[in-house]
Structure 1
Amino acid sequence: MSGAPLLPVDQAFDRLLALAPALPIEHLPLADAAGRWAAGDIAALRTQPVSDLSAMDGYAIRHADLPGPWEIIGESAAGRSFAGAVNTGQAVRIFTGAVMPAGADCVLVQEEARRDGTKLHLDGDGPGHVGRNVRRRGLDFCEGDTLIAAGQRLTPARVALAGVAGHGRLPVRRRVRVAIAATGDELVPAGSPVGPAQLPETNRLMIASQLAGMPVEIIDLGILPDDRPALETAFAALDADLLVTSGGASVGDHDLVQPALKSVGAQMDFWRIALRPGKPMMAGRLRDAVVIGLPGNPVSAFVTTLLFVRPLVAALAGDADPRPKARAAMLGEALPANGPRTDYMRGELRDGRVRVAAIQDSSMLRTLARANCLVLRAPHAPEAAPGDMVDILDLA
């Protein structure tokens, strides 16, 4: 595998998603299902509206009786309908959302009506046609209509739609169990004393933070040493849907993650992507879990989490379209031609123009913290001039 050509980013993404198993379905109350993805098509259990309703405050009449006058015979309000029927020359006082009485076929709005006791007179143009100011039965949807497709995000509007359609619970995939481990003898917990050959470890925190707000259960495996037996012990005991490691993903003498995974039964699918930063990322399966090995450099770990880990978690959670969404932005400066790898450059979008950081070294967290987007440069992209359009990925 080490001698294989670098895998294009799109191919790596597709192969990674192909590793994702279908997680079990659970049915959650509407409030708990909000923000998740529908695990199946959601159809209407009822028709909305179930009856013809008034769209305005006014008077329910027969269009054929215009221009009036009419005799007012009752009232229809939301939740309290008029029990009788409207016959020739009759009208019913009606309010927005109230059920149209039998016999009436339009609504005379109150601004065009003049009332004298029980007598009603036209004081305007009146409704122009049958059905004017009426919300017909089934205007929104009918029983059996598919309202939400499998894989769509359960946004606030869709949750409300499902509730009006008669649902109290919705099908979603269960939370994704994500185990996160950092590897390296040089790493110490953030906040601990740091020796001259040591480094505070923050990749686990960063990766977990990038998954915040997603339906995940984080399993923190801590900092694992550069020791193959210790790594094998940790990986053999894995009970998760996804294992994410950072560090040790290359092929140096101390890069032991891949051999340790293979020794406990992992099947690696690919390694090394035509990507900058993040080339040595690897992916495979360990029993029922997907495995993603991220580089240890923090910017590389951040970018590969954004491009691969987050979308994979979304796919496991049921998202039908998890691919990161780029948008166009105008360059504020010239960029040189790109090399053979897709480049994701840290940039800042200000005043409608994007500029990239002068130094793109994958160890520089300060530059990453200042960035609000990544500028995408396709393999072998030509020079770009100020004013040219480029694709960017927004950073939250």
Structure 2
Amino acid sequence: MPEDRAASAPATDTVETARAKMLAAVRPLTPEPVDITAAIGRTLAETLQAARSQPPFRSSAMDGYGVRAADLAQGPFTVLGEAQAGKAYPGIVGASGAVRVFTGAPVPEGVDVVVPQERARREGDRVWLEAPAPQRTNIRAAGIDFKAGEELVQRGTRLNARHVALIAAAGIGWLSVTRRPRIAVLATGNELVPPGTPAAADQMFDSVSFALLAMLEEWGGQPKRGAVLPDEAGAIAAATQQALEDADLVVIIGGASVGDYDLVKPALARLGLSIAVPRIAIRPGKPTWFGTLRGKPVLGLAGNPAAAMVCAHLFLRPLLEALLAREPDEAAATALLDGELAESGANECYWRALAWTDPDARMRVRPFTDQDTSLVSVFAAANALIRRPAGARAATSGEAVEVRWLDRG
């Protein structure tokens, strides 16, 4: 795995220590109410409990006739009325009485079995019933889905369509969710131009800021991308000041290494930047840094695409989850290595890789041969990262390795 440009500079924090320092600097955002129709993808701020049982009554599991089971050997039965979904039969069913019952309807008092209509022969208000064998009640108990007071969805859960269905079934129309974090994304570099605009022969299209926008949207944030900033301290400082006015977190891409045009930290130091994490013992992404400015967190990512995107998964996503008061999603697994890995040295290493399940239901993972951090195509083809701790020896095919999924929503 190629070293970052700043590989010769000392790295002061491990990945775990760096992440802990970052998370200590942020607090969950305030909750806000939303209509259930706007709940998808939002993070629940308060645990939801059922106000009533579901269903709130005994209900029929099929169309048929409700009777007393003790009377099944007798017959015929007298049909007293009917129970529909949303309209209960008001009386009590006694000996030799039957009520026409439809699926989902409340089961009348006195009834303890519903005989399917396929086992019924009716003439006027009389019906002959054939007891099912084996006998089944075909009655759903009250509260079979959930009971009043039962916890439905925990605080900190990111709501999906299944959660929305459960919340709606409980009759909850409004809920409290954490406000979506506003994330300012600033890219730096004289060589960058936005896609869709003309690029000179010595320029590159900005890919990282657009990748981060997509990631943040996918993870539940509210990102805002600024214009690409030139490698000028004044422009970097001015854009950061403006971003801090509205953003809950500022992410700055590039300008974090040790080159003549790596001006971000010096420019922000003049504004009062307090550095908590100067560098991280990680490959790729050693120049990644973190600090606070005017009480707000600022994350600096390396300019190389793979380094920035790997560290976005490792640091930006946990920061977003902390702002949302969301339970961390540690999507890790173990897989059999298909290929070779060099020793990791002093840094924790993350290899872009492709993981799959073989015909024997074993998880396998293959690292891409070229791990150059400038390659967007490799990251686009990957679905996982192979994590190798600092000091890990070289690994060969067949060994078990730790895998972290990239595509986890």
Please say whether Structure 1 and Structure 2 have the same fold, judged by a TM-score greater than 0.5: yes
Equivalent residue of 2:81, what SS? strand
- CA distance in 2: counterparts of 1:21 and 1:256, whole angstroms: 29
Report the Cα offset of residue 138 of structure 1: 1.9
Question: Aligned to 1:99, which of 99, 106, 116?
Answer: 106
- Which 10-residue stretch deviates more, 102-111 or 156-165? 102-111
Question: Aligned to 2:93, which of 78, 86, 110?
Answer: 86
Report the TM-score when normalising by structure 2: 0.87
Matches within 5 A, 1:39-118: 39-69=45-75, 70-118=77-125
Question: Aligned to 1:203, which of 208, 216, 222?
Answer: 208
Q: Residue 222 of structure 2 corresponds to which residue in structure 1?
A: 217
Q: What letter is aligned with 2:385?
A: L
The question of 1:32 aligning with 2:31 is answered no
Change (3 A) 1:4 1:275: closer
Change (3 A) 1:156 1:10: same
Q: What letter is aligned with 1:293?
A: G
Report the Cα offset of residue 292 of structure 1: 0.5
Q: Residue 389 of structure 1 corresponds to which residue in structure 2?
A: 400
Question: Aligned to 1:261, which of 254, 265, 268?
Answer: 268
Report the Cα offset of residue 5 of structure 1: 5.1
Question: Aligned to 1:361, which of 367, 372, 388?
Answer: 372
Equivalent residue of 2:106, what SS? coil
Q: What letter is aligned with 2:291?
A: G
Matches within 5 A, 1:1-396: 6-69=12-75, 70-125=77-132, 128=135, 132-190=137-195, 191-196=197-202, 198-237=203-242, 238-239=244-245, 240-321=247-328, 323-349=329-355, 352=358, 353-396=364-407
Is the Cα–Cα contact under 8 Å of residues 115 and 130 in structure 2 kept in the other structure?
A: no
- Which 10-residue stretch deviates more, 84-93 or 332-341? 332-341
Equivalent residue of 2:339, what SS? coil
Q: Deviations over 1:357-378 (max 9, x none)?
A: 2221211223223323222222
- Which 10-residue stretch deviates more, 346-355 or 369-378? 346-355
Is the Cα–Cα contact under 8 Å of residues 213 and 224 in structure 2 kept in the other structure?
A: no
Report the Cα offset of residue 55 of structure 1: 1.7
Q: What letter is aligned with 1:75?
A: E
Q: Residue 361 of structure 2 corresponds to which residue in structure 1?
A: none
Is the Cα–Cα contact under 8 Å of residues 208 and 218 in structure 1 kept in the other structure?
A: yes
- CA distance in 2: counterparts of 1:5 and 1:394, whole angstroms: 26
- CA distance in 2: counterparts of 1:385 and 1:112, whole angstroms: 66
Equivalent residue of 1:163, what SS? helix
Is the Cα–Cα contact under 8 Å of residues 108 and 126 in structure 1 kept in the other structure?
A: no
The size of the alignment, in residue pairs, is 391
- CA distance in 2: counterparts of 1:14 and 1:136, whole angstroms: 48
- CA distance in 2: counterparts of 1:174 and 1:96, whole angstroms: 41
Is the Cα–Cα contact under 8 Å of residues 94 and 110 in structure 2 kept in the other structure?
A: yes
Is the Cα–Cα contact under 8 Å of residues 216 and 223 in structure 2 kept in the other structure?
A: no
Change (3 A) 1:134 1:14: farther
Change (3 A) 1:50 1:127: farther
Q: Deviations over 1:300-320 (max 9, x none)?
A: 011111222133223323322
Equivalent residue of 1:175, what SS? coil
- The percent identity for this pair of structures is 39
Where does structure 2 lack aligned partners over 5 or more consecutive residues? 1-7, 359-363
Q: Deviations over 1:209-248 (max 9, x none)?
A: 2223343332222222222232222222322011000111
Q: Deviations over 1:57-80 (max 9, x none)?
A: 222122232323232211111112
Is the Cα–Cα contact under 8 Å of residues 115 and 132 in structure 2 kept in the other structure?
A: no
- CA distance in 1: counterparts of 2:67 and 2:142, whole angstroms: 18
Report the TM-score when normalising by structure 1: 0.90
Equivalent residue of 1:303, what SS? helix
Q: Deviations over 1:319-355 (max 9, x none)?
A: 222x441223332223333323221111223563422
Change (3 A) 1:120 1:79: same
